[in-house]
Amino acid sequence: MNIVKTIRKWNAYNRTVRELSSLDNRLLNDLGINRGDIHRLAREHAEQL
């Protein structure tokens, strides 16, 4: 894996964690997301790049 792709994935992971973490519990619940799932979802998102 090249460094550019690795950095792109890392940035996507961090951005996803930051954005989901900024939501309140009510909004997360409306999306069907538990706060404990944020890191897993961010990893899954980053791996799709």
| Per-residue pLDDT tens listing for the chain (49 residues) | 699 999 999 999 999 999 999 999 999 999 999 999 999 999 999 999 9
Residue 28 and residue 49: Cα distance in Å, rounded? 23
CA 48 to chain centre: 11
Q: Report pLDDT for 17.
A: 98
Q: Report pLDDT for 27.
A: 98
Q: Report pLDDT for 48.
A: 96
What range defines the domain where residue 26 resides?
3-47
Tokens of 16: 């996803």
Q: Report pLDDT for 5.
A: 95
Specify the number of domains making up the chain. Answer: 1
Q: Report pLDDT for 1.
A: 64
Residue 27 and residue 20: Cα distance in Å, rounded? 9
In the chain, count H helices and then E strands.
3, 0
Cβ atoms of residues 33 and 1 within 8 Å: no
